[in-house]
A and B are shown apart, each in its own frame.
Chain A
Amino acid sequence: MSTITILVLEDEPEVRAAIARDLEPFAGSFRIEMADAADDARSVIAETLEADGEVGLILCDHLLPGLRGTEFLIELDHDPATAPMRKVLITGQAGHEDTIRAINEGGLDHYIAKPWTAEELHTVVREQLTEYVLAEVEDLLPYVNILDGPRLLEAISERGWDR
């Protein structure tokens, strides 16, 4: 089993630091990677997949140099290798049109408006990672304590047999 990566794509250093700080509770069980541009994020994803790892969640800003966040998320959703990744937009500036398109094209699982609270971010990350491990991971036990325990236990109950 490989450690699941949480990828943060945000070009402003201060915002990136704030997200990183709020992700701290997840740092023990997940690998957290930072990227400041789409190209950077692409290479993190490529490297992670190459090392047999998986990116479970991306937290993505909307206004990025050269590319809109929604565009990038749609791009990720169209690639079978990155489609299972849960995709969250953190932004204050995404217009309706971009957002609606991202939702319709399957590129967006959740939208966090700036400014966010630590608690809000925790809830969203927990929920999205829970969705991810339920869909993609066979052994759920390592996540009971850190993600949505009761939901994971329900799934374990369906899958679990004596040995």
Chain B
Amino acid sequence: MDWGQIFSFAIESALGTQAMYFALAAIGLNIHFGYTGLLNFGQAGFMICGAYGLAISIVEYDLHWLIGIVVGLIASGIFALLLGIPTLRLRADYLAIVTIAAAEILRIVVRATSLRGFTGGSNGINGFTAGFQDARPGFLDGGIDLGFISFSSRQSWVLFLGWITVLLGVGFTYLLIHSPWGRVLKAVREDEDAARALGKNAYSVKMQSLVLGGLFGALGGIFFVLAQGSVQPTPQDFGTPKTFFIWVAMILGGTGKLWGPVIGSVIFSGLLAFTDSALRQAVAADYVPKSIIDGVQVGQMRFILLGLGLMVLMIYRPQGIFGDKRELALDAN
């Protein structure tokens, strides 16, 4: 087995596009769940808003890619308002039900045959990254090569901008959370009625949080499709599993912690690639008999192993990597 190759695959994924757009979406989810206590199970829906907002404005309306990003963000803001207005006055679980359904509805609507001329139906949309790639600065033309890992020039530009956005997002979250606004957010998470009794408008703050976290979800979707070069309304791209992977990444890092979603996404992507390539090589080198698993089954097997790993984490470090065990103990009260 070539351990050097396994580790370079793992590190490449840990710093690659999946980790980057997971981090963006997970920052949003952390604002929703970690700081406000909103159960958003439809982060993939916000990603759809961002991805399709970008692709449609470029392909259909010939707009600049930066305007496309703004369109995607606006679309996700509207989506957040639509979800929030009826549900945020109700108990937390209603938002969970509505978001999980709305995200799937949105995905099924954009793949409708009758919208083929607009959203591309089940084929999705291609060829909207040219303008974005034209804007690539010269120093990335040769791609990024760190010796043991390397990224192509196209990928480098997405990664460069994406990771900068992640850092800005973390900084932005820091400023907000360490402010009186952030304090109200956390108070609403702990007990809405207590916040109301002290004169805080819980509904309004929850709405602001839902919109803000949704914008990060949209950014995740935007950078995802910029890296992929196409938008496709498939379950593995924008379905419910995607939402749950983002949840996993956030919980892995530590819910309600500033760097939790970023580190969680990096580790999630790295581990997934590590188990995948390690298994593949083990199977190829006959360390694992073909009668147990073959090369085709590795794809499923890596998720089983990842799931086992998560179970172990939840048993020995339930607060996540960055979490504070004291906080978890308080939940018992």
Same complex = no
Give B residues with C-beta under 8 Å from A: none
Give A residues with C-beta under 8 Å from B: none
